[in-house]
Amino acid sequence: MSAKNFKMPKIKLGVLLLKNNLITENQLNDALEIQETTGQKLGEILIGKGFITEDDLKEFLKLQNRNFFF
């Protein structure tokens, strides 16, 4: 595989938010439990619970898609 075709795996949104101190581990675990039960998107849950803003989500989704980890 050439370097040109190499694709970095995406870091999970929850981990990205946690590592950048936007949420706590407890908040992430709470949201993941809800996600498992409801199938709702993690970002929607975090916004709904007031843990992050919609602007936070947009910013970190852009970072996630660009593979800028920290």
Q: Which domain holds residue 41?
A: 12-66
**Are the C-beta atoms of residues 34 and 47 closer than 8 Å to each other?**
no
Is the pLDDT at 59 greater than 70? The verdict is yes
Is the pLDDT at 26 greater than 80? The verdict is yes
Q: Is the residue at 6 inside a domain? A: no
What mean pLDDT comes out for the span 50-69? 87
Structural domain total, the chain: 1
Instruction: Place 48 in a pLDDT band, splitting at 50, 70 and 90.
Output: very high
Ordered alpha helix ranges (H), the chain? 13-19, 25-38, 42-48, 54-66
Instruction: Place 6 in a pLDDT band, splitting at 50, 70 and 90.
Output: low
**Are the C-beta atoms of residues 64 and 20 closer than 8 Å to each other?**
no
